[in-house]
């Protein structure tokens, strides 16, 4: 009886391991965020945060890591405080609208004529002047009438406070949750297609680990692309671009997903699957993401990233990398070209504004040819499946209609090069993949057939 290579860790040991690692990371990032929120509002929380931070000022903190300095100047690091001077009231920023100021001045004059109304003295702490670790007193601002205080407050740099109930939605968008869901589906299909008895525990652990790894990869990808995403209509509302969470929070979330995810895959499934997951995070964040701005070859690298999850599903079930795993990966590899090339066709302006090197922008003919070529490749791969003993011969027949349809749309996209043909091909790709995987599962080669054919192939003594 075939024993799946799924490591038989005790359930509670495994659960403890995962819960402790990921909850530390997640709780850590939430606590950090709520402390940061609290520090802005309450003095006691500020002392607590100061305690937390001053206790770590000798040790390396996140703020010392260069890559986090880039986007946001944090308030609590000596070298990072901006020495902005409080803006003189009469100096108005060039982009500021003069109108409200004129109204304010009239209102101020009216207010000053009313003898009883004396606005209370106010002390406003300017963020750039509140280097918490220096414990600087708040900078007193001369007594101003109420309305201009509001105007003054309006001009101040404000940190966006995260409401804890918004975090699930923010994390979902950081993880590109719909893309991650389909990635996990492909990994599950790879697991289910493997020629071994189905192990539910291993299946769930492999799916969870792959999903966490995908969430981590997408979060890091978005962290690296903040400056460019802000230039694209499609991505300008992403959490980091809008400042809904800090880079430190996003990176903590990515770590809180990556560490337990890869640990689950390595310890609870098998080292090969864990290694593939870690490699894929590296490939997506450190190869594909920078390549997007350098060369059109990024799409081929991205297709490898998308092809690895079904291979991980197969290796999770079998513990080995064989032709069936590569076939599943081949399906995903080819599927991504019609999927993305069609999508990017209607995003050419956006992609060029974001400074990305995409075929649709620089090589439009190649973009359409590659999409058609790989749509047709899906027909060929479906015929290969029974030859490699992954499915029965019914699969190429039942999958032919949807493969011919996506190829037809690919042909129209290639010939017409219109927005409509591109949109139809992209949306077709979103249902074609799950449908193809479902048909593959229904046509999976029965195990006993495999054992019979293996026995028949074995030399008789």
Ligand X SMILES: CC(C)=CCC/C(C)=C/CC/C(C)=C/COP(=O)(O)OP(=O)(O)O
Residues that bind ligand HEM (CB under 6 A): 178-179, 182-183, 186, 234, 299, 302-303, 306, 332, 336, 339-340, 343, 430
244 touches which of ligand HEM, ligand X, none (CB within 5 to 8 A by kind)? Answer: none
Binding ligand X (rule: CB under 6 A), the pick from 284, 335, 395, 426 is: 284
Residue 74 or 303 with smaller CB distance to ligand HEM: 303
Cα–Cα nearest to 235, from 287, 176, 162, 294: 176
178 touches which of ligand HEM, ligand X, none (CB within 5 to 8 A by kind)? Answer: ligand HEM
Lookup: tokens for 85: 């001077």
Distance, in Å, from the CA atom of 220 to the CA atom of 226, rounded to the nearest integer, reads: 10
By CB under 6 A, how many residues form the interface with ligand X? 18
430 touches which of ligand X, ligand HEM, none (CB within 5 to 8 A by kind)? Answer: ligand HEM
Residues 183 to 222: which contact ligand X by CB under 6 A?
183, 210, 213-214, 217-218, 221
Phi, psi of 391 (to 5 degrees): -130, 175
Q: Is 239 in the site for ligand X (CB under 6 A)?
A: no
**What torsion, rounded to 10 degrees, do the Cα atoms 305, 262, 441, 391 define?**
70
Residue pointed to by tokens 């993305």 = 340
Lookup: tokens for 444: 């999976």
Instruction: Give the three-state DSSP class for 401.
Output: helix
Residue 158 or 236 with smaller CB distance to ligand HEM: 236
DSSP string, 274-308: HHHHHHHHHIIIIIIHHHTTT-TTHHHHHHHHHHH
Closest CB to ligand X: residue number: 302
Q: How deeply is 33 buried, as exposed, middle or buried, from its count of CB atoms within 10 A (0-12, 13-18, 19+)? A: buried
* Nearby residues of 367 by Cβ (< 8 Å), 6 or more positions away: 341, 344, 345, 358, 359, 360
Binding ligand X (rule: CB under 6 A), the pick from 14, 245, 250, 281 is: 281
Q: Is 274 in the site for ligand X (CB under 6 A)?
A: no
Lookup: tokens for 435: 């449908």
CA angle in degrees (0–180, nearest 5) for 275-281-286:
125
CB of 35 to ligand X, least distance (A): 30
Q: Is 305 in the site for ligand X (CB under 6 A)?
A: yes
CB of 340 to ligand X, least distance (A): 7
Lookup: tokens for 357: 């090197």
Binding ligand X (rule: CB under 6 A), the pick from 5, 195, 260, 306 is: 306
299 touches which of ligand X, ligand HEM, none (CB within 5 to 8 A by kind)? Answer: ligand HEM
Closest CB to ligand HEM: residue number: 306
Distance, in Å, from the CA atom of 188 to the CA atom of 170, rounded to the nearest integer, reads: 25
Mark 192-214 as b/e (b = at least 16 C-beta within 10 Å). bbbbbeebeebbebbbbbbbbbb
Residue 188 or 336 with smaller CB distance to ligand HEM: 336
262 touches which of ligand HEM, ligand X, none (CB within 5 to 8 A by kind)? Answer: none
Q: How deeply is 294 buried, as exposed, middle or buried, from its count of CB atoms within 10 A (0-12, 13-18, 19+)? A: exposed
Q: Is 402 in the site for ligand X (CB under 6 A)?
A: no
339 touches which of ligand X, ligand HEM, none (CB within 5 to 8 A by kind)? Answer: ligand HEM
Residue pointed to by tokens 């520090």 = 39
Residue 67 or 431 with smaller CB distance to ligand HEM: 431
Distance, in Å, from the CA atom of 265 to the CA atom of 208, rounded to the nearest integer, reads: 9
CB of 271 to ligand HEM, least distance (A): 24
CB of 247 to ligand HEM, least distance (A): 20
Residues that bind ligand X (CB under 6 A): 179, 183, 210, 213-214, 217-218, 221, 235, 277, 280-281, 284, 288, 302, 305-306, 309
């Amino acid at each position: 009886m075939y024993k799946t290579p799924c490591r038989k860790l005790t359930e509670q040991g495994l659960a403890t391991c995962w819960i402790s690692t990921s909850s530390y990371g997640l709780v850590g990032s939430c606590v950090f965020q709520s402390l940061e929120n609290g520090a802005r509002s309450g003095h006691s929380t500020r002392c607590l945060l100061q305690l937390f931070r001053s206790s770590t000022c000798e040790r390396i903190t996140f703020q010392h890591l260069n890559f986090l300095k880039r986007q946001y100047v944090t308030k609590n690091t000596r070298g990072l405080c901006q020495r902005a001077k409080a803006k003189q009231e009469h100096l108005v920023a060039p982009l500021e609208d003069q109108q409200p100021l004129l109204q304010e001045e009239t209102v101020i004059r009216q207010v000053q004529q009313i003898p009883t109304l004396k606005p209370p003295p106010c002390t406003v702490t300017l963020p750039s002047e509140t280097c918490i670790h220096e414990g600087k007193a708040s900078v007193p601002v001369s007594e101003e009438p109420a309305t201009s205080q509001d105007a003054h407050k309006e001009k101040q740099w404000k940190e966006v406070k995260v409401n804890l109930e918004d975090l699930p939605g923010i994390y979902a968008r950081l993880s590109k949750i719909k893309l991650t869901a389909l990635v996990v589906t492909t990994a599950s299909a790879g697991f289910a297609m493997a020629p071994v008895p189905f192990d539910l525990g291993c299946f769930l652990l492999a799916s969870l680990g792959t999903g966490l790894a995908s969430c981590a990869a997408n979060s890091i990808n978005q962290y690296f692309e903040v400056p460019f995403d802000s230039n694209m209509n499609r991505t300008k509302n992403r959490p980091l671009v809008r400042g809904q969470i800090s880079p430190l929070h996003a990176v903590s979330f990515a770590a809180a997903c990556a560490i337990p995810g890869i640990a689950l895959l390595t310890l609870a499934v098998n080292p090969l699957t864990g290694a593939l997951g870690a490699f894929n995070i590296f490939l997506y964040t450190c190869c594909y993401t920078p390549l997007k701005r350098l060369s059109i070859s990024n799409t081929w690298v991205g297709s490898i990233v998308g092809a690895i999850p079904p291979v991980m599903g197969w290796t999770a079930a079998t513990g080995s990398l064989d032709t069936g795993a590569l076939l599943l990966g081949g399906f995903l590899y080819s599927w991504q070209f019609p999927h993305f090339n069609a999508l990017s066709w209607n995003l050419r302006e956006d992609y060029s504004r974001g400074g990305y090197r995409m075929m649709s922008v620089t090589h439009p003919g190649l973009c359409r040819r590659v999409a058609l070529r790989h749509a047709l490749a899906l027909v060929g791969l479906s015929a290969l499946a029974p030859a490699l003993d992954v499915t029965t011969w019914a699969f190429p027949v039942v999958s032919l209609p949807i493969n011919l349809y996506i190829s037809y749309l690919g042909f129209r996209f290639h010939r017409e090069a219109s927005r409509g043909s591109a949109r139809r091909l992209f949306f077709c790709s979103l249902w074609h993949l799950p449908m193809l995987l479902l048909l593959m599962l229904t046509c999976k080669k029965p195990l006993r057939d495999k054992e019979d054919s293996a026995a028949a192939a074995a030399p008789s003594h």
